[in-house]
A and B are shown apart, each in its own frame.
Chain A
């Protein structure tokens, strides 16, 4: 029996939106860069937090402004993990939290203080210290879903970034393990949205992302300009698409 797609956690109070400043990491293009659609960096400047003792060496940066929604990251993940073309088992999921804007969601590598570890009633989740990136490991002999065919979803429920998915057939929680330092998704992303570098970010919830994007799209427009690059005009004139 298939699970319903995972449900969004509903926050009680109005979500604390990430500020616009936090959404943009200095790539020098500033606010205008976001609305014109250029890539503006590889993460969100996190609020200062007690750093985890187990920071990963590898970090998958995610650029909010440039995700196209192609989901090649999901395909690559499923291919590397199970040799299948099956986005449904990917550890990264592309979600449209704001109308018309996609965003890749995957484990934020919270480290020792990870809420998912804390939440698991059977201590099935832990930091895998044998792997250099200290990612979350799932012990399927302890997980209620796999060991007892249960329907526990506490790791997802408590994850501040809603970044856990569940395998459709084995039911196991799927949490990004950074492919042992060589993340497959970063090799296929066509727009540099998912990339193997950047500043580690704190987990952000779906509601925060939606609110942040809503804020970002309220940015005042750049000054109206007639200075259009000549090669852009030339390219557009080439257009012979039947649309």
Chain B
């Protein structure tokens, strides 16, 4: 096996139908031009499905589920991506997650894992260095997150790292996530459903081998050391408060935080400022994953009131926003309680918060009744009702909760109602960052990005910059400059990739590679839009009256299409495809292009 610096140099290919396990060498070219993580995983999917992309059922045995990281892991605080054809967007989704699975995977000698097929009954996979086994998970199936972790630890001790699903994914909710270790999750896009559709309960890994060899060990060690000494200082706020402080500031200062299903994006609920979480709730202040000193994660325990004793992580900004302000829940204690539920059920907390918020407005407007939601009449600010609905969704109890579990696109399509207040983009519920105040995202951000409503990968000006972090395997909370990132990329891989090549050629290539599946899945330039609600004026706050301007949106969009070498309908030109080595798709895209 040829050694590629910065890489373990091999993949695991697991076919759950035939129960076969293969070790496959990493293709050098793929590494050179797609680096890793979301970009590389996406290319593997694109190559596998080809022009047949539109016809592949994401929840079928033929669908691939890819767990991939990049050369930065584990030398600095790092992440991995769970990459798959999303049952929500039908495009490529590479949901990032921390935890230590990818580090253990690399120590075991693998850069990634590709799972296909479907087991005839529930299974889990163990990866202990070169020993890989498929095992019976029938006793674990049906268990929620905490029970699943306890079962794994009882069996394998306290040093493994794991990826697993809970009832949400087992029940094939399209908003289900893949959980990692305690409280981490690859939330977006429905990866949990893909995993559940394969009858795959968990992957458990512990690697005792060395990290992959790198091109310049001294340099890498120096950069690791830099992050150890400096990241927590450069990111002091994140170190102290995680993203929790944003639960107040994003609403109050930036006026871009969802309130009551995005009816508003501003509030002044001073009791949910970050310092109160710290003082009243956190029992573990600094919790990190491998080689991270920023330690943004915090463990919270509700100390007072009705929910005393409840433990949940943080909650971080997205949770506090979508399971808090979006539902007009402004009590810290209730927020912790609601945040814990998607973790327990294995549902994406961003999608879930949007879904139940939509359901509340739908009931307000008479589109849904209490009977539709198992007798629950939702009320803004009342956590118990939302909690009850979340349980119904996870366990698919009742026609409407079952529909809700498949996301807002499926729900509004089936009901033929409510699309005008469904805050989704290309089928993906939006992360808690609005566009109307222009203090957060802008008119363009969500409209043209590869993962629709995903807020971390929004486009800025002429680039979906998140591709860089998602493919190198780093965590963006490290506080590295782009130049430092390029240094690490050079020192690990020795590929000699400059900043220019990275930003202007590689990202450009990955962007087109991720655009193609969206087009083949049936999305068009008409879907490169913001959610309808974002064109409504904000009702209150310092940016009252502001709304997303369609003319500016259109101008920015055309500029973006041009910068990516796409035509006026957002379809990559023949020339662009050639430049990106993706000519094979020219024929399939031709009918979609703008007429001359």
Which A residues fall within an 8 A CB radius of B? Answer: 1-8, 35-37, 66, 68-72, 75, 78-79, 84-89, 93, 95-97, 99-102, 168, 188, 190-191, 206, 217, 221, 224-225, 228, 232-233, 235-243
Contacts and interface: CB of A to CB of B under 8 A. Distances in A.
Contacts of B316: 243
Contact of A72 (B210, B249, B291, B304): B291
Most chain B CB inside 10 Å of its own CB: which residue of A4, A7, A8, A239: A239
Contact-size category for B: 35 or more
Interface stretch (B12-20, B268-276, B365-373): B268-276
Given A2-B130, A37-B285, 13 more contacts: A35-B283, A68-B286, A68-B292, A70-B291, A100-B299, A168-B129, A235-B236, A235-B240, A238-B237, A239-B241, A241-B238, A241-B245, A242-B456
Contacts of A224: 280, 304
B273 A233 contact: yes
Most chain B CB inside 10 Å of its own CB: which residue of A71, A224, A236: A236
B107 interface: yes
A236 B284 CA distance: 18
A75 to B, nearest CB: 7
B295 interface: yes
Most chain B CB inside 10 Å of its own CB: which residue of A35, A70, A84, A188: A70
A44 B23 CA distance: 47
24 contacts: A1-B131, A5-B156, A5-B160, A6-B159, A37-B282, A66-B286, A69-B289, A71-B290, A85-B75, A85-B221, A88-B210, A100-B287, A100-B299, A168-B129, A188-B228, A190-B293, A190-B295, A232-B275, A236-B245, A236-B274, A237-B245, A242-B456, A243-B246, A243-B316
Given A6-B157, A236-B241, A69 B287 contact: yes
Contacts of A242: 243, 433, 440, 455-456
A95 B159 contact: yes
Give me the 4 closest cross-chain CB pairs, A-B, nearest first.
A243-B243, A88-B208, A37-B285, A2-B129
Contacts of B210: 78, 84-86, 88
A128 B595 CA distance: 83
B267 interface: no
A87 B159 CA distance: 11
Contacts of B303: 221
A228 B279 contact: yes
A241 B209 CA distance: 35
Nearest to A191: B286
B311 interface: yes
B510 to A, nearest CB: 20
B157 A5 contact: yes
Nearest to A227: B279
Interface string B428-455: 0000010000001000000000000001
B253 A237 contact: yes
A184 to B, nearest CB: 13
B287 A235 contact: no
Contacts of B279: 36, 225, 228
Given A4-B128, A70-B290, A87 B107 contact: yes
Contact of B288 (A69, A79, A96, A101): A69
Interface string B311-327: 10100111000000000
A5 B242 contact: no
Interface of B: 74-75, 107, 128-131, 146, 149, 156-160, 182-183, 206-211, 221, 224, 228, 232, 236-238, 240-243, 245-246, 248-249, 253, 273-276, 278-280, 282-293, 295, 299, 301, 303-304, 311, 313, 316-318, 433, 440, 455-456, 477
A2 B246 contact: no
A84 B280 CA distance: 42
Contacts of B288: 68-70
Contacts of A66: 286
B442 to A, nearest CB: 13
A97 B158 contact: yes
Contacts of B304: 221, 224
A129 B290 CA distance: 35
B284 A37 contact: yes
B160 to A, nearest CB: 6
A100 B183 CA distance: 8
Contacts of A243: 242-243, 246, 316-318
Nearest to B302: A221
A28 B541 CA distance: 45
A173 B142 CA distance: 39
Contacts of B240: 235-236
B275 A236 contact: yes
Nearest to B318: A243
Contacts of B149: 99
B156 A95 contact: no
A228 B249 contact: no
Most chain B CB inside 10 Å of its own CB: which residue of A3, A5, A206: A5
Contacts of A2: 128-131, 208
Nearest to B252: A237
B100 to A, nearest CB: 8
A31 to B, nearest CB: 12
B158 A228 contact: no
A188 B183 CA distance: 26
B331 to A, nearest CB: 13
Contacts of B157: 5-8
Nearest to A220: B303
Contacts of B284: 37, 100-101
Contacts of B276: 228
